[in-house]
Chains A and B, each alone.
Chain A
Amino acid sequence: MDNVHDVSVYTPSPQRAEELLSSIGQSKALSVLETMYTIRAFEEKAEELYSLGKTHGTMHLSIGQEASALGASTAVRSGYDYLLNHHRGHGHCIAWGGDPNLMMAEFMGKETGYCRGRGGSMHIADVRRNNLGANGIVAGGIPMAVGVGLSIKMRGTDQVCLGIFGDGAANTGPFHESLNMASIWDLPVIFLCENNQYAMSMAMTRAFNIEHISQRACAYNIPGVTVDGNDYLSVYDVISQAAQRAREGQGPSLVESVTYRWRGHSRSDRQLYRTRDEVKEWQAQDPIPRFAARLIQAAFIDQAGVDTIKTRAYQRIEEALAFAEASPEPDVATIMEGVYAD
């Protein structure tokens, strides 16, 4: 990865893909596939629960974007490195090693949830594992990612901070301030822009006058790469390089992961701004079967094995639901807790 701003969309050559799979290894690769299915299952269940009236509020589903979450999370050391993401973040949390029980409990507003039911779908954090939370404000977490990077640099550890946001965030002021600041200070931050083509209803092509959001990197003299976000290996490869660069003290990178959100922005979205054909075209590039096909081709697994993994993932979410449903609601007597640290 260098400072040349290539306008192509990166995807590894067949030979490179083979090398990557071989270095990842069968066990980890199968675990990645299972986690992708777990994310899909979690979000399908979330959608179902919402439709049945079992949850309230809103939610932002990342169905169709699972490869990006996994590619990024597995290219760094989740639990040691840091994550900040935004409100389409169920997938990131699970990919980071989050416990689906605690996530489902949070989604249902239960006391046993990650945030004791105070955060909900939009604000899940797993602080113990350095997942510093999902943010409901577009770009709201980007300046904090700079601060985390600054902390890492000043403490002198070899951690990195993965900051994930959407295409809409790249047009906000804090995005520019933050990438500039991270660049001038060579901070170990990976800015991952998941370009799912729409900021709510505003198409990326209408909101930007550039072809790729990664081109913005040139303004900060940092590497900018666009990758096929529906291909696990593409994201994994580029984020790995960005992480290495960050650990070596060479500073931040901007990675644009080109993907697509299959569902509406949130529950209220009637999706009048796009056609069904467009959605179908992207659904044909479903990242999960794409990755499964790679694994079958590499002889890591056969189709029957894939089906078993998928079944297990969906079963895992049923267990998470059972845990959440059996969990208590927060006690109203505790309503004031957590505003201030004692």
Chain B
Amino acid sequence: MTETRTLKLKNKLGMHARSAAAFVKVALQFKAKIYIERDGQTVNGDSILDILTLGCPYGGLLTIKAEGVDASMAIEELEKLIENKFGED
């Protein structure tokens, strides 16, 4: 099962250390493989260093892909996290 969703980063600081950590923590809870794509570059959603070095600023668009049995649940949770601005602001 594969799920894809494109989202906009709404927290003021974009994907910084704290938000990246929050993302990875959620991604690690699922069996599905998580990927993040931005500007044609794809990285692993469970790698904090990959996510950080991807450099996603405020307002940037991200495409999240999940592959695996719980893909849709994983996408739901990650979307929630991003929509809630990682609990910041």
- Co-complex (A, B): no
